[in-house]
Amino acid sequence: MIFLDNIGVTYQDGTIALENISLQFFPGEFTVLLGSSGAGKSTLLRCLNFLTIPTKGQVRVEGIGTLDNPTTLKKHRQKTGMIFQQHQLIPRQTALKNVLIGRLAYHSTLRSFFPLPKIDQIIALDCLERVGLLNKALTPVKQLSGGQQQRVGIARALAQQPRFLLADEPVASLDPGTSHKILANLKKICQEDGLGAVISLHQIDLALDYGDRIIGLANGTILFDSHPSNIHTEQLAGLYQHSPSMKTV
């Protein structure tokens, strides 16, 4: 479980991106962060693995402790996979080599200069198979479609053998059909492995279709936090009535 205890983020230029956020994220739960541009979705996601360090409050992880020192942070990051909108893959490298990057968290920096052990290759190939891309293992990722590249990004995060997956707009640049396939695949894997997932999305229909829980954000605060069946149309409309945050200290 990941706990956010009353966290806030104020960026250096004075922009208040998040205020008084207290949340718990559970293993096995597929949580969607929904909100208009500037609502604070990426900031909240990045706080969950300290890519953005909250300026207020604490982040605690069950079994690891408070993320306030390099030891707990390293342990937490090893078990937290991140999936990005723009994949952040190495284009000229094969799908397999990109997925193997997910294994580096388990090796020393020096070890990572040499070919990784066979077991890591087996784990990476298994992850590619789970996203339906075993047949592309030796293809350079620049020769793959956008949807296939995103699946390589998911396989790389899975290769970390995480407990939590964080995904920032993982289907923002994909067509609706591909977006559905990718989210369905991701949700199935999370259910099979009991992984917690926190995913930011722009599309309400996708959030309602796949979220076990939807957290609506506006101007850096939580508007609602519910199961999709309990969310009213007015609440969804409210998300987009708020103008992007212009708050500063």
Residue 221: strand pairing partners = 218
Q: Using the rule CB under 6 A, is 216 a contact of ligand ATP?
A: no
Q: Please select the residue that binds ligand ATP; options are 13, 70, 138, 177, rule is CB under 6 A.
A: 13
42 or 173: CB nearest Mg ion? 42
Of 30-38, 90-98, 109-117, 173-181, the segment contacting ligand ATP by CB under 6 A is 30-38
Q: Please select the residue that binds Mg ion; options are 42, 55, 94, 161, rule is CB under 5 A.
A: 42
Integer Rg of the chain from CA: 18
Strands 213-218, 221-226: pairing kind:
antiparallel
Rama region for 219: left / alpha / beta (φ>0; ψ in -120 to 50; rest):
left
Of 7-15, 98-106, 118-126, 180-188, the segment contacting ligand ATP by CB under 6 A is 7-15
Q: Using the rule CB under 6 A, is 39 a contact of ligand ATP?
A: yes
123 or 215: CB nearest ligand ATP? 215
Write each residue from 135 to 174 as x if it is in contact with ligand ATP (CB under 6 A), else as -, in one continuous string. ----------------------------------------
Classify burial at 228, counting beta carbons within 10 Å of its beta carbon; exposed 0-12, middle 13-18, buried 19 or more: middle
Secondary structure E strands in 41-79: 56-61, 65-66
Of 3-11, 37-45, 154-162, 220-228, the segment contacting Mg ion by CB under 5 A is 37-45
> DSSP class of residue 245?
P
Least separation in angstroms between residue 63's CB and ligand ATP is 28
CA nearest neighbour of 29 among 153, 215, 156: 215
